[in-house]
Structure 1
Amino acid sequence: MSVLICLAAIVVAVLVLAYLRAPLWLSSLVALAGTGFGVYGRGAHIGWLVGVAVVLAILNFKPLRRALITGPLFGIFKKITPPMSQTEQEAVDAGTVWWDRDLFSGKPDFAKLHSYPAPKLSAEEEAFLNGPTEQLCAMLDDWKITTETKDLPPEVWQFIKDQGFLGMIIKREYGGKEFSNYAHARVVTKIATRSGSAAVTVMVPNSLGPGELLQHYGTEAQKNYYLPRLAKGVDIPCFALTSPEAGSDAGGIPDFGVVARGSYTDPLTGEHHDNVLGIRLSWEKRYITLGPVATVLGMAFKLYDPEHLIGEKDDIGITCALIPTNHEGVNIGRRHYPGTAVFMNGPNWGKDVFIPMDWVIGGASYVGQGWRMLVECLSVGRCISLPAMSVASGKVASFTTGAYARIRNQFGLAIGRFEGVDEALGRIGGMAYQMDAAQRLALTGLDMGEKPSVLSGILKYHNTERMRKVLNDAMDVHAGKAVCIGPRNYLASGYGAIPVAITVEGANILTRSMIIYGQGAIRCHPFVLKEMRAAMANDAVAFDDAVIGHMGFTISNKARAFVMGLTGARLVAAPKSGPTAQNYRDIVRLSAAFAFLSDMGMATLGGSLKFREKLSARLGDMLSGLYIATAALKKFHDDGEPKEDRPLVRWAVESALYDVQEAMNGFLNNHPNRFLAWCMRRVVFPLGMSLKGPADRVGTRIARSLMEPSPSRARLTEFMYVPKDENDAVGVLEPAMKAVIETEGLESKLRRAQREGQLRAITARGRLEEARAKGFITEAEFAAVERARRLKREVIMVDDFDKDLKHADPEAVHRVVF
């Protein structure tokens, strides 16, 4: 019995040390002492003590450890680690790791999370958002833009240029606004709530493109010439990366240039130059936003130097250049037609077009560095543009669907009171909260100087996917109102633009299955990149330090995941008390489980994990869900933890963590080593999968808050453009909802009087007049009901057109039949 007690004590001690991440030497001393105590006085078993002592000595004495353990392992590691291409290496090295590293650690530091500053607009940024941005939105008629003119009106283009919308990221010294990333995103969000076409027009010059690249890498001459022109809209930029043969595989672009000497006429000055060192370019690009109207073309291409005019290498690598679009040989002007997202987008091409070397961004010293330049800038742009448009969709869906569900009734009841609609409204509000929170946290990092490349992939994928889901739910609730397009349909344009958001800046399938975890496992893991760099540098000493640290890290996370799984993480210290305390504990538990599963996946599958995209995608889903949950808690914290928002944060966190659990289950169900998968499941889910998705009542509370004016609804839809005109399809929603709410009691009174036979008129209008005549309601009450019914009709009316579907009838709302 005493032996069993000793063994149990040793197991508990090991678990405690591993849980607390005790150093190797301390764990070794405890293990040795426990073994010695267990065999004390039992000479027949003294061999156990000697064996344990020998193993621990080997582990702690580095020269011996390297000779017997990590040295042979190093040789195997170098053989099984897949080679990394230059483009992969540059993608891995691009950007920075930030809060994502904590989530990968198995022990996130919430004190650090809450110490990050809450995002805030400066006085100048707030004035721009409430002034020019509001004015721009008021100028936009999305129906005319998308169906009639197929472009922004000339006066809108000019306003965008004159007010500096195209220079939000450009520094003040060059005439730009030098806004924070937070302000930039909020401007895009507000415009996108009014018109996706206008939002894309504004966001592209401020995202990945010539302006961003010039500020980071341009020569002084390039900056001084182009940046002031870009800031004021004198030049319109575009950037050409995608080719017909290379979409997601941007590193495989066929477009190429050859270093050569040649002649050209400068389109800017009209001067002719002979025998100039430059590049002879041939390219074909497509899907280039602003390409048809651009005056300066940013270009990515592969550069070769077969005559060694600038160096000893034949293959220089991907290079970026700036080309005036009126340069001889440049072909632009044709357009693609991306569905209802009508914005300037099209192909461009050229064959044997000669450009001087000083048109390379950064000059000759930056040839071959284009891919690094692009991936570093992309990590910023992917946190802003498309995530901001997704946030806009969440705000629009929440605002419009909540109001519509209260205004529209069936069977004498607001449709939002039906549980099926209530469920959809809960999802809309919860996902809108998730999207906004996820982007807010990333923008905080950007404004702190970070370039979170892994988080940018998470944002791009998960925000655009949630955009798809909230718009699907919004369309379902609006039903026929959303099916028939027309000036009154405020959802169809965004719904039709979903494929654009899903596809551009990295197709979502690729982003989920390869990018998020592919980059995250290497960049965010505390030891993997160190091991890979040690292998590439053939540094056995560095590898020894990294791999021993890695082993301890894995053992610790295994112990932590198991203990927290047994206890439901209830023993974990939470940084907050109250309703979110268990959320924090669950995140710590799942972070440890994720880190353990990640290590086991890499250890058992090795380099093949890179090609097992379904498993890699599920590991990425785990990291993403943890990020979204922590972002929601951070937003709740920054907002002052308002009690009205508790249903939203609860739905957002519980939904995200449930997704993490499901991703873990999917990973374990599909791991090829079934015995190992069984063992891992016992560690991660010792008592089964205990996390539940948001309860129905939580979604109901969200739905109720969206169907009436409330502080929660106001915060969720902040930065949305809401027209003041009751004749506007969106502008009428708020006054209509308020009027319907104010007259619900009167309408109930009228229905009761009808049922009791006190009102006998056939039509609703007739009964209303009869009620006034009989004194059931006052003149003021009559006017209130009449106004509410008029506004309600404005909301529920669907456009009808002439037989050629060219002209909608603006007077249909006033058509009187009943």
Structure 2
Amino acid sequence: MTTVLSLLLLVAVLLGIFAAGLSRRAGAAGFTVAYLLLGIVLTPVLLHPLLLLLLFAVLAVLLIDSLRIRLISQPAQGALKKMMPPMSATEKEALEAGTTWWEKDLFSGKPDWRKFAGMKLHRLSQRERAFLDGETEALCAMLDEWQIHHELKDLPEDAWQFIKDKGFLGLIIPEEYGGLHFSPYAQSRVLSKIASRSSVAAVSVMVPNSLGPGELLAKYGTDAQKCYWLPRLARGEEIPCFGLTSPEAGSDAGAIPDNGVVCRGTYDGEEVLGIRLNLSKRWITLAPIATVVGLAFKLRDPDGLLGDQQDLGICCALVPAGLEGMEIGRRHNPGAAFMNGPITGRDVFIPMDLLIGGQDYIGRGWQMLVECLGAGRGISLPALSTAAGESAYLLVGAFARIRRQFGIPVGKFEGVQEASAEIAASAYTLEAYRAFVTRALDDGAPSVLTAMAKYHATEMMRQVVNLSMDILGGRGIQLGPRNFMALTYQVVPIGITVEGANILTRSMIIFGQGAMRCHPYLADELAALDDDSPAGVAHFDQLFTAHIGHTLSVISCGILQGLGLGWLSKYDFAPPIMRRWYRRFDRLAAVFAATADIALATLGGDLKRREMLSARLGDVHSQLVIASALIKFHSEQPHSRDNDEHAEYALQRAHGAALQALDGLYRNFPQRWLGCLLRVVFFPLGLPTAPVTDEQRRRLGDAMLKDQPVRRMLAERVSLNTEPDDAMGRVHATFALLQEVEPFYEQYLRAEDSLPGSSVAEKLDAAVKSGIVTAEQAEQLARYDAMRYDCLLTDAFDRNLESLDVRPNRP
């Protein structure tokens, strides 16, 4: 019995040493002292010569560098070199591009929550707020999505001119070149406000401010390129597009078939050194109206005009759309009316000074592109998704209160509340996520974080819009100027597809790139594998032993927190309502880091091909980030019960999604015994399950129907039209009037069946005579009833679905 107790105590000592992250020498000394004391006091068998010899042999390997290198690190280096698959040049460039932020802290398994609590989200400047309330609202007032989509097939000319004149195409361009140079958060707010009125307008503004010539020039352009092109782009004198995707190459940039050859040619009447391009691009937004094309292509120098190297890699260039050989102007039909089309070019000659960044950036095109993907992934697409979520919250919530069935608002039915609660939680999460990710973009270009944002924001948009259509029923599917949801439903697949299809992003990029960019040692270890020199082996040994120590540390933290010792952490810097969430996600961070390290160690390069496992690890990492966004956003909102309930529901959902991903990972681990062991070690009492309750669903479903702080906060982020003849405006206006009349409206409804008369007017007259309502209240109720009925109607057309038939159809 004493032997078992001693072994348990030694395991506890080891866990404590590893969890504390002690150095090798301090940890070895501490364990040795504990071992000898237990042998003297409790279990003499521990002092057996053979056991002591084994102990000192292990300590020698641990502490003597030459011995450890020869017995452990050098064999490990050789084994890992064989296990790891070769990495393409584009993969290396993608992994080296961009920065990291809080997602790296989470991947470490030991995030500094106190540092996190001190972080502040971005606020709009006075100039940004003025633009949002002024020019952006003015643009929104010019937009009618039904007209844009079904009649004009484009933005109105006056809207296009307004966009150019007011600087919407230069949100990212520095002020010294005539741009507005807004913060990432302000860019997102502008785009989402526009998207709340028109996705076509939002996409049209988004592209020049996302991956494209403007951003590439601002970051990498020569002084001459910046001085010439950026002011023209900021003023809208040039309309840019960017050609990346080819018919046979989408996300795999290494497979780009478009090519350029270094040669001499004639440009503007002079013979110069340049590039002859052949290209075929598709799905290029703004291509039909673009005046300048940003282009990604492979460059070759077969005649050695630039040096000895023939294959120069991927490059980016500016190509005026009117050059000889360029074919541009045709349109694709992506299901929305924004400009999108193919570009082809045959023997198009450009001078070297049209290479973005000049000759110094030859071969660095893919790195440039990956570093600039942050705007599209972290700003533009999440902004569109956030607009969809917030609009759904406001419009569907209002409609579900206005529309009555069986004598009560449809939003009161529990089946509807189950869907509306998800809409509410997603809208709140999207706003929190947007604020968090754009804050990260203030500090750099975190490629992993923005990939997460793109995937999860667009997936939440898909879920929100689908649930909205469920609640709206027939009101949502009948197309016409009154429909406020169908066109959003129609464009959802676009967000899912662009900037890397969501399947690819989830299964390959988030964890695949995240492990390399966020793990504290992995990338450096892999870089050191090929150096077999004594110095190289010694360097690998330092990294490898530090990696092992890190793995043991996070495993120990995960085990100790699983045993309940996480409750010893007070998190006194956090508000009381959030402390349990800090504790839960702190534990999950440790479990995730440990599980990821074990998966990498046991599967090696094979994990890259096991995409479902990789996707689940990415899901856990992503939910940790989403939870962080929710905690941070909640803390910066004015205190209210509704803010608490939205945050609690969303955090509960993120926690459950992370646990579900871990459960799926453990169940499907290739070594089934190891999956079972990990489950038992990290969750000895079983995976904690605390799903969202029905009561939470009811409360959040009810909140969507009310004028409360979260609704008002979300309403500030959209363009809130209240015109009664507008698709969205009639819902908002009717909902606003309902707030005023509801107390005496409910009195009238309770008596309605007993009142004489066959029309609303007759029954209201009877209600006045009976003293149920006053004459003034009856007048308000008559106006509300007319607006309510108008709000429920769907459009009717002639037989050919060409002209609206606007005859009233109320008996």
TM-score range, shorter chain: over 0.9
- Once the two structures are TM-superposed, the CA of residue 577 in structure 1 deviates from its matched residue by 4.2
Task: Tell me if structure 2 keeps the 8 A contact 1:169–1:177.
Answer: yes
Match of 2:355 among 360, 365, 372: 360
Q: Note if 1:401 corresponds to 2:396.
A: yes
Per the TM alignment, residue 640 of structure 1 is displaced from its structure 2 partner at its CA by 4.2
Is residue 767 from structure 1 mapped to residue 763 from structure 2 by the alignment? Answer: yes
Measured after TM superposition, the shift of residue 743 of structure 1 is: 3.3
* 2: CA distance, partners of 1:750 / 1:577: 45
Matched, 1:81 2:115: no
Deviation at 1:44, TM superposition (A): 7.6
Task: Name the structure 1 match of 2:23.
Answer: 23
Assess, with a 3 A threshold, how the Cα gap between structure 1 residues 299 and 469 changes in structure 2: closer, same or farther: same
Moved more, 555-564 or 584-593: 555-564
**Structure-2 residue corresponding to 1:567:** 564
Alignment-derived partner of residue 678 in structure 2: 680
CA drift of 1:810 comes to 4.0
Match in the other structure for 2:373: 378
1:359 and 1:738, CA in 2 relative to 1: closer, same or farther beyond 3 A?
A: closer
SS in 1 for 2:729: coil
Are 1:512 and 2:506 counterparts?
Answer: yes
Change (3 A) 1:640 1:61: farther
1:628-639 equivalent positions in 2, closer than 5 A: 628-639=626-637
Distance 1:572 1:255, change over 3 A: same
- Most deviating of 653-662 and 378-387: 378-387
The CA deviation at 1:775 is: 4.2
Q: For structure 1, which segment, 341-350 or 677-686, has the greater mean C-alpha deviation from structure 2 after superposition?
A: 677-686
Displacement of 1:641? 4.3
The SS at the match of 1:297 is: strand
What amino acid sits opposite 1:388 in the alignment? A
CA contact under 8 A between 1:630 and 1:653: conserved in structure 2? no
Residue 387 of structure 1 aligns with which residue? 382
Pick closer, same or farther for the CA change 1:603–1:42 going to 2, 3 Å.
Answer: closer
Structure 1 counterpart of 2:652, from 641, 651, 654? 654
Give matches, 1:272-421, under 5 Å.
272-274=269-271, 276-339=272-335, 341-421=336-416
Specify the code of the residue in structure 1 equivalent to 2:287. Answer: G
Correspondence 1:35-54 to 2 at 5 A: 35-40=35-40, 42=45, 45-54=48-57
- List alignment gaps of at least 5 residues for structure 1: 267-271
- SS for the counterpart of 1:802 is coil
Shift of the 781–353 alpha-carbon distance from structure 1 to 2, 3 Å rule, reads same
Pair 1:167–1:754, CA change in 2 (3 A): closer
- Compute the TM-score of the two structures, normalised by the length of structure 1: 0.96
Cα 1:718/1:537, change in 2 over 3 Å: farther
The answer on 1:2 being equivalent to 2:5 is no
How far does the alpha carbon of each residue in 1:277-313 deviate from its partner, in whole angstroms, 9 at most, with x for none?
1111110000000000000011111111111111111
Alpha-carbon offset, residue 62 of structure 1: 1.6
More off after superposition, 467-476 vs 677-686 = 677-686
Percentage of pairs with the same residue: 46
Contact 2:640–2:709 under 8 Å retained in 1 = no
2: CA distance, partners of 1:801 / 1:277: 61
SS in 1 for 2:314: strand
Amino acid at match of 1:203: M
Partner of 1:434: 429
1:148, distance to aligned residue in structure 2 (A): 0.5
- Residues 711-770 of structure 1 show CA distances to partners (whole Å, capped at 9, x for unaligned) of 121113331001131222212223312333443443443344345x4x232333332232
Amino acid at match of 1:452: P
Q: Distance in 2 between matches of 1:43 and 1:718?
A: 69
Task: Please report how far the alpha carbon of residue 774 of structure 1 lies from its aligned counterpart in structure 2 after TM superposition.
Answer: 4.3
Answer whether contact 1:301 1:319 (CA < 8 A) is retained.
yes
Which one-letter code corresponds to 2:668 in the other structure? N
SS in 1 for 2:378: coil
Q: Does 1:249 align with 2:252?
A: yes
Bigger shift: residues 434-443 or 455-464: 434-443
Pairing partner for 2:111 from 91, 108, 124:
108
Where does residue 478 of structure 1 map in the other structure? 472
Contact kept? 2:277, 2:347, Cα under 8 Å = yes
Shift of 1:43: 8.9
- Over the residues paired in the alignment, what is the CA RMSD in angstroms? 1.6
Distance 2:750 2:95 in 1: 69
Q: 1:130: how far off? A: 0.2
Residue 790 (structure 2) aligned to one of 763, 771, 794: 794
CA distance in structure 2 between the aligned counterparts of 1:229 and 1:556, rounded to whole angstroms? 55
Question: What residue number does 1:269 align with?
Answer: none
Match of 1:147 in 2: 150
CA distance in 2, matches of 1:545, 1:640: 48
Moved more, 213-222 or 162-171: 213-222
Whether 1:555 aligns to 2:555 is no
Cα distance, 1:140 vs structure 2: 0.2
Indicate whether 1:451 and 2:445 are aligned: yes
Q: Deviations over 1:619-654 (max 9, x none)?
A: 000000100011100101122444330111111111
The verdict on how the C-alpha distance between 1:403 and 1:43 changes in structure 2, with shifts beyond 3 A counting, is closer
Instruction: Indicate whether 1:198 and 2:201 are aligned.
Output: yes
For residues 779-810 of structure 1, give each alpha carbon's deviation from its aligned partner in whole angstroms, at most 9, with x where no partner exists.
11111211111121221111111111122234
Q: In the alignment, which residue of structure 1 is the partner of 2:58?
A: 55
Structure 1, 699-708 or 204-213: larger mean CA deviation: 699-708
Whether contact under 8 Å (1:336, 1:347) holds in the other structure is: yes
Higher deviation after alignment, 314-323 or 766-775: 766-775
Q: Say if 2:50 is the partner of 1:34.
A: no
Aligned residue among 413, 419, 428 for 1:424:
419
Q: Give the distance between the partners of 1:770 and 1:78, measured in 2 at CA.
A: 89
- What residue in structure 2 maps to residue 523 of structure 1? 517
Matches within 5 A, 1:81-230: 81-230=84-233
Measured against aligned partners, the alpha-carbon deviations of 1:152-192 in whole angstroms (never above 9, x if no partner) come to 01111000000000011111111111111111110001000
Aligned counterpart, 1:542 = 539
1:47-87 deviation per Cα after TM superposition (whole angstroms, max 9, x unaligned): 10121112112101222211211111111112212221110
Residue 562 of structure 1, CA deviation: 1.6
Give the residue type in structure 1 aligned to 2:59. Answer: L
Code of the residue aligned with 2:632 in structure 1: it is K
Name whichever of 546-555 and 402-411 sits farther off.
546-555
**C-alpha distance in 2 between matches for 1:716 and 1:537:** 55
Report what 2:490 is aligned to.
496
Distance 1:536 1:731 in 2: 64
| Structure 2 counterpart of 1:593 | 591
Using the alignment, how far apart are the partners of 2:460 and 2:735 within structure 1?
Answer: 26
Cα distance in 1 between the residues matched to 2:644 and 2:340:
42
Superposition misfits of 4+ residues, deviation over 6 angstroms: none
Deviation of 1:456 after TM superposition, in Å, equals 0.6
Tell me whether 6-15 or 276-285 shows the greater mean CA deviation: 6-15
Alpha-carbon contact 2:617-2:665 (below 8 Å) kept: yes
- What amino acid is the match of 2:177? Y
**Equivalence map 1:622-771=2 (5 Å):** 622-755=620-753, 757=754, 759-771=755-767
In the alignment, structure 2 segments of 5+ residues that lack a partner are none
Say if 2:669 and 2:675, in contact at 8 Å, map to a contact too: yes
Partner of 1:467: 461
Moved more, 65-74 or 572-581: 572-581
Q: Which amino acid aligns with 1:565?
A: G
Alignment match, 1:532: 526
* Number of aligned residues: 804
The whole-number CA distance in structure 1 between the counterparts of 2:810 and 2:462 is: 38
Contact 2:388–2:465 under 8 Å retained in 1: yes
8 Å contact kept, 1:94–1:453: yes
Question: Using a 3 Å threshold, how does the CA distance of structure 1 residues 156 and 380 change in structure 2: closer, same or farther?
Answer: closer
Question: Residue 109 of structure 1: CA displacement?
Answer: 1.2
Q: Is the 8 A contact 1:416 1:707 kept in 2?
A: yes
1:572 shift after superposition: 2.9
Deviation at 1:323, TM superposition (A): 0.8
CA 1:779/1:31 → structure 2, altered by over 3 Å: closer, same or farther?
same
The answer to whether the 8 A contact 2:262-2:299 is kept is yes
> Distance between the aligned counterparts of 1:173 and 1:281, measured in 2?
33
